[in-house]
Chains A and B, each alone.
Chain A
């Protein structure tokens, strides 16, 4: 039982990181109808900034400053690389985001170096007892922070004027423009938010042992998450992220007991299998908006 609880919390911790990353994808998709492949770069940028800033300031302050800088980077990328491409096919814009990802990661990698950078986080590998199980403090911290951030994000969308403007632009850009909403500003804000969320995911991912260049690969797990949750559903991103994290952890721990085929590193393909299964039943994901098409 203790082991089961520990596995679930570990899964929720990983799932929180996937959810934060997936939220960024969804926010950009909702505003621009484009899947941004630059999220791994923002994730690495945020984590790398923290690893440098902690050398001269408190960890929490470093996270705050790093996330603001990452948000600025996201907004800057949108303004310089994406805004001029408005009106072009979304495929072209998606490819540009791939290029942006490579450029930013190359620069960021030079600041990471070949070794492992420490984040200076207060959790390290420390554990805490929960329901009789030993839980990594960092997993708990990731989960709690994600829940707070998600609640704040939903409140922002639901109750703030800017959030309303973002929802309006997401629903119909031309009507939103006619109502005085600055769609360009919505784009910038979307990229800033997405970059900030990815940066936060990167920070939590690097807690424990540290930050290294290859961590960016984890960001790719957000892709099955957004397909599973629905490309335009913020709630779907959170539910799918947490679900995939937990299922992945459970398969990793207990899959081999069911059958040797499910042991080893089978858990790595679980997110993609889940995605395929859901797509067979719900092509727009669990919570995605079903598109009405004229036949």
Chain B
């Protein structure tokens, strides 16, 4: 009996030892065109391959798809990315490979723990993440992304991403966007005072930090009004806003909260102007009782122009989407999903050109990107991923105004610009830290 136990223990020890020695990464293989690859790339074609002779690059997507607070964005982002890569594949793919973003799509319910779990599930099968939605959720997997060199495209705009090599962000962040909005308010709207009305966390706090910095530069009075999610929770924020009477309010909330605040403040005679970051807007608000107030008082800042703009990228997006589906629930999540995909395409192309499509090869390709062709949706300079954050951070943003006739209810008022605050800001750390 004792001998059997000894043998069993020895066997378990050997198994543990062997599994401990095993590397997670499979051995590198050679594909078409002598490209070296390992995880998440196969010689076999993609499930819905256009050209069956090509190999497949699998990218995962972790988004808010069913019951989280940002599903109204997550669903169109994911759909738009599927269309983006379908177009890439139809146009010949990436070298001797096509890209699949449909097989490993997971729902994070905007919960960091779930995000981590589903990431662990798909990690052995994907080269990188075509989408990792949310700041706190992405933060939950960031350590692993860094240790394994997995590139992730974030569906969020916090200023912390500029300090992470494995994060492939696009457009400016909430901090610089808010700086530009305040500069715009000071110059164009002649605002003398500004309030940051925001959710807590790296979304709202990042924008509030940018607002405060720009208020100081412009010599404006600054009021900080944090608020909690939920339209029924905005009463106190509205009261504080009315009491402070700022000329300009930088909003970083969700859409229903934004409408409640703008509508409620206007009902109380508030005359200040609002500029909300892109997640504060939903065109469906134009059917709400807050529509007149939004039309009169609200502008939207954004890292790029909304759906329907006249760039080649915007046109390609519109041509790729099922228009009936878009019109049923028009949303700039489609635009965001499309824009976010360009740097991943550029990085994959660069890695294939360098004949190294391993995770390490893709990371090296990302770090060497100097420009990205966004087909006009963003300037090519927005695709600089080499160098220090202060050198490479993209500082330009756009201001849009409410336009009920526009596809997503907003149209560009001021095209890409960098305000004086953003221009001069030394970006040495995330703004909210």
Q: Name A residues whose Cβ lies closer than 8 Å to a Cβ of B.
A: 3, 6-7, 10, 14, 17, 109, 113-116, 118, 124-127, 134, 136, 205, 208-210, 212-215, 217-218, 249, 252-253, 263-265, 267-268
Contacts and interface: CB of A to CB of B under 8 A. Distances in A.
Interface in B258-296: 259-260, 263-264, 266-268, 282, 284-285, 287-290, 293
A109 B255 CA distance: 18
6 nearest A-B residue pairs (beta carbon): A124-B289, A252-B236, A265-B228, A115-B284, A114-B72, A125-B263
A118 B233 contact: no
B289 A213 contact: no
A268 B228 contact: yes
A55 to B, nearest CB: 12
A209 B231 CA distance: 8
A90 to B, nearest CB: 27
Contacts of A125: 263-264, 266-267, 289-290, 293
Interface string B287-325: 111100100000000000000000000000000000000
B69 to A, nearest CB: 5
B256 interface: yes
Interface string B54-74: 000000000000110101100
B376 interface: no
A248 to B, nearest CB: 9
Interface string B223-244: 0001111111101100110010
A3 B240 CA distance: 10
Given A7-B239, A125-B264, A210 B232 contact: no
**Interface majority SS (helix, strand, loop, mixed), chain B:** helix
Contacts of B75: 114
B95 interface: no
A196 to B, nearest CB: 21
B329 interface: yes
B112 interface: no
Nearest to B236: A252
A252 B233 CA distance: 9
Contacts of A6: 239
Contact of B282 (A3, A115, A136, A218): A115
30 contacts: A3-B243, A6-B239, A7-B235, A10-B235, A14-B235, A114-B71, A115-B329, A116-B282, A116-B287, A125-B263, A125-B289, A126-B267, A134-B267, A134-B268, A136-B267, A208-B260, A209-B285, A209-B290, A210-B256, A213-B67, A214-B69, A217-B230, A218-B232, A249-B236, A252-B235, A264-B200, A264-B226, A265-B227, A265-B228, A267-B228
Choose among B233, B235, B263, B288 the residue with the greatest number of A CB atoms under 10 Å from its CB.
B235
A20 to B, nearest CB: 13
A165 to B, nearest CB: 36
Given A7-B235, A127-B268, 16 more contacts: A17-B232, A109-B66, A116-B282, A116-B284, A125-B266, A125-B293, A126-B289, A208-B263, A209-B259, A209-B260, A209-B263, A209-B285, A210-B288, A217-B230, A264-B200, A265-B200
A7 B226 CA distance: 18
Contacts of B236: 7, 249, 252-253, 267
B376 to A, nearest CB: 28
Choose among B67, B200, B226, B232 the residue with the greatest number of A CB atoms under 10 Å from its CB.
B232
Contact of B239 (A3, A118, A124, A214): A3
B270 to A, nearest CB: 11
A118 B240 CA distance: 27
Contacts of A118: 287-288
Contacts of A212: 256
Contacts of A213: 67, 71
Interface string B120-152: 000000000000000000000000000000000
Contacts of A136: 264, 267
B285 A205 contact: no
A109 B329 CA distance: 15
Interface string B359-402: 00000000000000000000000000000000000000000000
Contacts of B235: 7, 10, 14, 249, 252-253
Contacts of A268: 228, 233
Nearest to A6: B239
Contacts of A109: 66-67
A263 B231 CA distance: 18
Given A7-B235, A126-B267, A253-B235, A208 B289 contact: yes
A263 B236 CA distance: 10
Given A116-B256, A118-B288, A212-B256, A205 B268 contact: no
Nearest to B293: A125
A263 B200 CA distance: 12
B358 to A, nearest CB: 38
A228 to B, nearest CB: 19
Contacts of B256: 116, 209-210, 212
Nearest to A214: B69
Nearest to B255: A116
A264 B226 CA distance: 5
A109 B231 CA distance: 18
Contacts of A7: 235-236, 239
A220 B259 CA distance: 23
Nearest to B228: A265
Contacts of A114: 71-72, 75, 329, 331
Contacts of A205: 232
B190 to A, nearest CB: 28
B75 to A, nearest CB: 6
Contacts of A218: 230, 232
Contacts of B255: 116
B202 to A, nearest CB: 16
A213 B229 CA distance: 13
A113 B233 contact: no
A73 to B, nearest CB: 20
Contacts of B329: 113-115
B20 to A, nearest CB: 40
Nearest to B258: A209
A127 B236 CA distance: 16
Nearest to A221: B232
A17 B256 CA distance: 19
Contacts of B200: 264-265
A265 B204 CA distance: 13
Contact of A265 (B233, B287, B289): B233
